[in-house]
């Protein structure tokens, strides 16, 4: 037996911001200072996976799969690095990640994040356990760099371009309004035949 419910139209509100408002009148949602952001940008460009402190992570090795024959079957060459949920993005354990980047990582979803909130990265790409461990840290840093994004500086030339486009758009709107107004006036006039 189905229950009939009264029809309620679903309304979807679209927040349409013009490019001009995004550049000229955009609010800054960042709580970090310009110095913090410039430090984070510099970190993204210069930080290397070898600089990640390995003692923070739980590193384990297990049997690998795939090609390699007896070597793969007998040695534990697959590397797994893990951080528990209370350690990941904790300022005490992850102090090597700048605050501005840590904030973005906590907001965005992380590819290697477990259901409990920690991280787990595995690699069995190479036949050597040390190379696989390095690959795990390389993947971690690559994922961090892919997720984090900072707004660039808007040049004066770009601002002028967007202002000009906004002005042209406003002029077109006014022309269309005048045309519509003229149409309405023409309809209301009475003609003598």
- The C-alpha R_g of the chain, in whole angstroms, comes to 29
pLDDT-derived band at 12 (thresholds 50, 70, 90) equals: very low
Domain membership of residue 173 (yes or no) is: no
Structure tokens at 113: 């994040």
Domain of 80? Answer: 32-147
Q: Is residue 143 part of a domain?
A: yes
Which of 11-25, 31-45, 135-149, 178-192 is the least confident region? 11-25
CA distances from 24 to 20, 162, 166, 174 (A): 6, 9, 11, 22
164-192: pLDDT as tens digits: 999 999 999 999 999 999 998 888 877 77
Provide the pLDDT confidence category of residue 29 given band limits of 50, 70 and 90: very low
Q: Where are the beta strands (DSSP E) in the chain?
A: 58-62, 78-83, 119-123
25 found inside a domain: no
For residue range 90-125, what is the model confidence (pLDDT) as tens digits? 888 888 888 888 888 888 878 888 888 889 999 988
Two tokens, residue 111? 């590819």
Mean pLDDT across the chain, nearest whole number?
80
Phi, psi of 124 (to 5 degrees): -130, 30
As a dihedral over the C-alpha atoms of residue 77, residue 78, residue 79, residue 84, rounded to 10 degrees, the angle is -140
Q: Both tokens of residue 15?
A: 């927040």
Task: Assign 58 to helix, strand or coil.
Answer: strand
> In this structure, is residue 36 part of a structural domain?
yes
The predicted structure's pLDDT at residue 117: 87
Measured CA to CA, the distance from residue 67 to residue 71 in angstroms comes to 9
Question: Which CATH number do you get for residue 90?
Answer: 3.30.160.20
User: How many structural domains compose the chain?
Assistant: 1
Q: Provide the pLDDT confidence category of residue 24 given band limits of 50, 70 and 90.
A: very low
In a domain, 122, yes or no: yes
31-36 mean pLDDT: 77
Residues in the chain: 193
In a domain, 161, yes or no: no
pLDDT over threshold 50, residue 19? no
- Is 176 domain-assigned? no
Residue pLDDT, tens place only, 133-164: 999 999 999 999 888 887 776 788 888 999 99
The label of the residue with tokens 């993204």 reads: 44
């Amino acid at each position: 037996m189905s229950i009939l419910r009264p029809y309620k139209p679903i309304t979807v509100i679209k927040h349409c911001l013009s490019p001009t408002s995004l550049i000229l009148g955009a609010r800054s949602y960042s709580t970090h200072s310009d110095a913090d952001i410039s430090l984070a940008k510099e970190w993204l460009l210069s930080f290397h996976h070898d600089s990640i402190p390995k003692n923070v992570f739980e590193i384990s090795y297990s049997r690998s799969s795939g090609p390699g024959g007896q070597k793969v079957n007998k040695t534990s060459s697959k590397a797994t690095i893990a951080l528990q949920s209370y350690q990941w993005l904790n300022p005490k354990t992850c102090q090597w990640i700048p605050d501005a980047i840590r904030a973005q990582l906590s907001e965005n979803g992380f590819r290697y994040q477990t259901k409990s909130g920690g991280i787990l990265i595995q690699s069995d790409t190479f036949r050597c356990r040390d190379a696989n461990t390095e690959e795990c840290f390389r993947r971690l840093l690559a994922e961090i760099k892919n997720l984090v994004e900072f707004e660039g500086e808007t040049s004066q030339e770009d601002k002028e371009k967007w202002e000009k486009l906004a002005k042209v758009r406003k002029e077109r709107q006014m022309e269309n309004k005048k045309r519509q107004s003229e149409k309405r006036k023409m309809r209301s006039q009475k003609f003598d035949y």
